[in-house]
Amino acid sequence: MENSKRRFLKGTCALLAGATGATLLTTVNAAESAKAEAEIKYAMVHDESKCIGCRACEVACREVNEVPEGVSRIEILQTGPFGEYPNQFYHFSRKSCQHCEDAPCVNVCPTGAAFIDKETGIVSVDAWKCVGCQYCIAACPYQVRFINPVTHAADKCDFCRETNLAQGKQPACVAACPTKALVFGNLKDSTSEIVQVLRANPTQRAKVALGTRPKLFRILAKSGEVVL
């Protein structure tokens, strides 16, 4: 009886010590995170008035990030044709992770596999921690996550964090776009191209009313701007 009581107390103390340690760690991490976030916050713009729907971005993403057939980190959605022949036009929009600042996928993940990189603000996945429960897939309001059939972990656009970005290159989709419809960069750098583009153009983000604070911006095409 006494032994089990002692074990209980020992366990409780260990838990409390762990909790205090975790609180301290959280506080330190929060301070570090605030410092890091003050320096880099990556985002992307898709200028739909420049997009011709060639899908070079999809191909480049699959190749660079070894995304298996049947799933994809980026899709170019086509709507149209609009107008009367021969003056018909199409619209192309990008479907991919929005890199939410308040990311529902991260909030529901039970293992910490879905996380926001403190240094860059990129929403990413640690495949080793992922148990494939799919909570994040259900929680994402943009329906951009999937289970990678090779790794069996959740997957999605990570701004090429582990591939091109790690090598100091632009994300693969951005580099491959022949019309420069994609702009990637640091929102915290007032001299960056993305900040100039955002200042010069009216933009939209998807489902902002949900409070997710997405970092994928759209420049909408006006009627007739993309003619095939």
Given the DSSP bridges, would you call strands 89-95 and 114-116 parallel, antiparallel or unpaired?
A: unpaired
- Which residue pairs from 147-150 have beta carbons closer than 8 angstroms and sit at least 24 positions apart in sequence? 147/71, 148/67, 148/68, 148/71, 149/68, 149/70, 149/71, 150/66, 150/68
Q: Is 194 in the site for ligand SF4 (CB under 6 A)?
A: no
Measured from the CB atom, is 23 or 204 closer to ligand SF4?
204
Question: Stretches 12-20, 48-56, 60-68, 77-85: which one binds ligand SF4 (CB under 6 A)?
Answer: 60-68
- Residue 123 engages ligand SF4 in binding (rule: CB under 6 A): yes
Give the residue, chosen from 135, 186, 194, 221, that forms a contact with ligand SF4 under the rule CB under 6 A.
135
Residues listed for the chain: 228
**Among the residue ranges 11-19, 47-55, 171-179, 189-197, the one whose residues contact ligand SF4 (CB under 6 A):** 171-179
Query: Cβ of residue 30: shortest distance to ligand SF4, in angstroms?
Result: 20
Binding range to ligand SF4, per CB under 6 A, among 28-36, 78-86, 108-116, 191-199: 108-116
Neighbouring C-alpha atoms within 13 Å toward the C-beta of 181: 28
Report d(CA 51, CA 168) in Å as an integer: 25
For ligand SF4, give the closer residue by CB, 140 or 183: 140
Region near ligand SF4 per CB under 6 A, out of 25-33, 81-89, 142-150, 194-202: 142-150
Structure tokens at 216: 């994928």
Distance CA(146)–CA(24), nearest Å, equals 34
In the list 172, 177, 194, 221, the residue contacting ligand SF4 (rule: CB under 6 A) is 172
With binding defined as CB under 6 A, does residue 226 bind ligand SF4? no
45 binding ligand SF4? (CB under 6 A): no
User: What is the distance between the terminal CA atoms of the chain, rounded to a whole angstrom?
Assistant: 81
Assess 131 for contact with ligand SF4 (CB under 6 A).
yes
Q: Contact 91/100 with Cβ under 8 angstroms?
A: no
**Which positions lie near ligand SF4, rule CB under 6 A?**
60-61, 65, 73-74, 96-100, 103-105, 108-109, 111, 113-114, 123, 125, 130-136, 140, 142, 144-145, 154, 156-160, 171-173, 212
